């Protein structure tokens, strides 16, 4: 996966815009990444594009609330195992998964 941009600094003005079944792709998220309480969020970020252009944009992303940190780690490891079964090389570029846990 080629990344066409880089986020510069922090994402600001974040807010939750949908939760659980009100997320249009909630079934797909659960099928690919597992059960959990999914949230769709939005915020403002400054991006640096490949051509050097800097722009301010609204971005949207999904996060899952897990019961424990071990659930998060197991989810990541399971995703990597599935990649190996599909023949994805172990050194392939992957999406970055951020795990934020407050227990």
* Distance in angstroms (rounded) separating the CA atoms of residues 85 and 52: 38
* Residues 87 and 100 placed together within one structural domain of the fold: yes
Is 49 in the same domain as 93?
Answer: no
Determine contact, residues 54/47, Cβ cutoff 8 Å.
yes
In the chain, the number of structural domains is 2
- 94 and 70 assigned to the same domain: yes
Q: Are 42 and 73 in contact (CB under 8 A)?
A: no
- Whole-model pTM: value is 0.58
Contact between residue 58 and residue 43 where contact means Cβ atoms under 8 Å apart: yes
Q: Taking 50 as the threshold, does the pLDDT of residue 67 lie above it? A: yes
Summarize pLDDT for 51-63 with one digit per residue, the tens. 888 989 888 888 8
Domain check: are 55 and 87 in the same one? no
Q: Which of 75, 82, 80, 81 is nearest to 98 (CA)?
A: 75
Q: Quick one: pLDDT at residue 47?
A: 87
Judgement on whether residues 10 and 42 belong to the same structural domain of the protein: yes
Pair 70, 50 in one domain: no
What residues make up the domain containing 38?
5-64
């Amino acid at each position: 996966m080629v990344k066409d941009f880089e986020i510069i600094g922090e994402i600001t003005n974040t807010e939750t815009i949908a939760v659980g079944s009100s997320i249009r792709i909630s079934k797909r998220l659960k099928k690919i990444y597992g059960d959990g309480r999914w949230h769709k969020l939005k915020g403002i970020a400054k991006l640096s594009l490949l051509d050097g252009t800097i722009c301010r944009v609204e971005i949207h992303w999904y996060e899952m609330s897990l019961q424990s940190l071990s659930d998060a780690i197991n989810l990541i490891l399971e995703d990597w195992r599935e990649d190996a079964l599909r023949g994805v090389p172990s050194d392939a570029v992957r999406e970055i998964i951020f795990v934020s846990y407050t227990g």
